[in-house]
Amino acid sequence: MNKDLISIGEMSRKEILDIFSLTEKIKKSPGKYSRALKGKSLALIFEKPSNRTYVSFSVGMYQLGGNAIYLGPEQIKLGVRETIHDVAQTLSRYVDGIVLRTFGHENVLEMAKFADIPVINGLSDYSHPCQALADVFTIREHLGDTFEKITMAYIGDGNNVCNSLIFISSKLGMHFNIATPRGYEPDESLLKKISPAARETKARIRLCATSEEAAKDADVIYTDVWASMGQEREAEKRKQDFKDYQVNDRLVGLAKKSCIVMHCLPAHRGEEITDSAIDGKNSAVFDQAENRLHVQKAILVTLLKRLIRH
Ligand code: CP
Ligand code: NVA
């Protein structure tokens, strides 16, 4: 994380922990930060739908004394109406930061390259760093910060959310069990990329043969939709392929009694997660959703305060 927040892969352990410390302060005393970004504006470029990311960034900027401007799929049309280069350069003259939700991760990289202002990845097909930061902040609230004693079981698709959770686990020394159907594993190149960090922190990142193996004695059970945004045409096939990868009471029963159940949302209830798991006593799902707001306020303060305009 230099100017931008593109992927947890580029953050150091210290930068992650600093975000958590600041989040804690902001969450505890939001009033103290109500002018932290006074006069600053944030552009939200969204090529995909959103509830949490859009609302929490908008409300977050408002609570910090700044302003957010939503630019939906019909407005900017990246690469169609104009190049990412020109969008980045133009917005750099108007606003103080950009959140980009897009398909190809290379779009986020390109935006960051040409923008003079911070660019925050609000989800790409490769990663969802704000989600993973909020998730681990939530884990820390529920289970403490002795990460090396925590095992997370991720059940389902080896997608953008899974990738960011792998990155953050390897940086913090949290153990990560992954259960996906064959063909839906996270990218091998990503697993190679994280291995030096995982060696250093002793994080065990493990591909498991079944959901049961991954969930056994876990502290956290995590899942996400079987078909992500942009994969709607594969939804029917995926329902078949993922049928043994549902988070339900039976699976939660294999984990530690004190385990927490997590989902980044939106959820497809009855598919990757049952009502009883998402609404049950172990669920931390809505704490996670709430923490998107607090964590992103910390990210905004960190990145936008750094910016010195010439
Ligand atoms: N979890 C998450 O990013 O939700 P939205 O897609 O609603 O923003
Ligand atoms: N994997 C999901 C996450 C949604 C927040 C998607 O990309 O649609």
Helix (H), strand (E) counts: the chain = 12, 9
Query: Is the pTM of the predicted complex or chain greater than 0.85?
Result: yes
Instruction: Inform me whether the pLDDT recorded for 307 exceeds 70.
Output: no
**Looking at the structure, do residues 18 and 119 belong to the same domain, yes or no?**
yes
What is the average pLDDT value for the chain, to the nearest integer?
A: 96
Does the residue 257 lie in any domain? yes
246 assigned to active site: no
DSSP state of 156: S
Ligand closest to 159 (CA) is 2
Convert the pLDDT of each residue in 168-203 to its tens digit: 999 999 999 999 999 999 999 999 999 999 999 999
Nearest to 214 by CA among 267, 165, 283: 165
Convert the pLDDT of each residue in 233-284 to its tens digit: 999 999 999 999 999 999 999 999 999 999 999 999 999 999 999 999 999 9
Q: Are 92 and 115 in contact (CB under 8 A)?
A: yes
- Using DSSP's 3-state secondary structure scheme, residue 25 falls into helix
Residue identified by tokens 């927040």 is 5
Convert the pLDDT of each residue in 287-300 to its tens digit: 999 999 999 999 99
Does the residue 310 lie in any domain? no
Here the CATH number for the domain that contains residue 54 is 3.40.50.1370
Instruction: Inform me whether the pLDDT recorded for 309 exceeds 70.
Output: no
63 assigned to active site: no
Ligand closest to 223 (CA) is 2
DSSP state of 185: S
Q: Which of 128, 140, 175, 238 is catalytic?
A: 128
136: tokens are 């681990």
User: Given this model, what pLDDT does residue 310 score?
Assistant: 46
Which structural domain, as residue segments, surrounds residue 240? 130-289
Mutation pick for ligand 1 pocket among 44, 46, 51 (CB with most ligand atoms within 8 Å):
51
Mutation pick for ligand 2 pocket among 228, 265, 296 (CB with most ligand atoms within 8 Å):
228
Cα angle at 109 between 230 and 132, to 5 degrees? 65
Instruction: Inform me whether the pLDDT recorded for 1 exceeds 90.
Output: no
**Looking at the structure, do residues 154 and 222 belong to the same domain, yes or no?**
yes
- Using DSSP's 3-state secondary structure scheme, residue 106 falls into helix
d(CA 72, CA 101): 10
**Looking at the structure, do residues 87 and 214 belong to the same domain, yes or no?**
no
Ligand 1 near 51 CB (within 6 A): yes
Q: Are 258 and 284 in contact (CB under 8 A)?
A: no
Convert the pLDDT of each residue in 91-121 to its tens digit: 999 999 999 999 999 999 999 999 999 999 9
d(CA 274, CA 247): 7
Strand ranges in 15-147 using DSSP code E only, listed in sequence order: 41-46, 67-71, 97-101, 119-121
Does the residue 1 lie in any domain? no
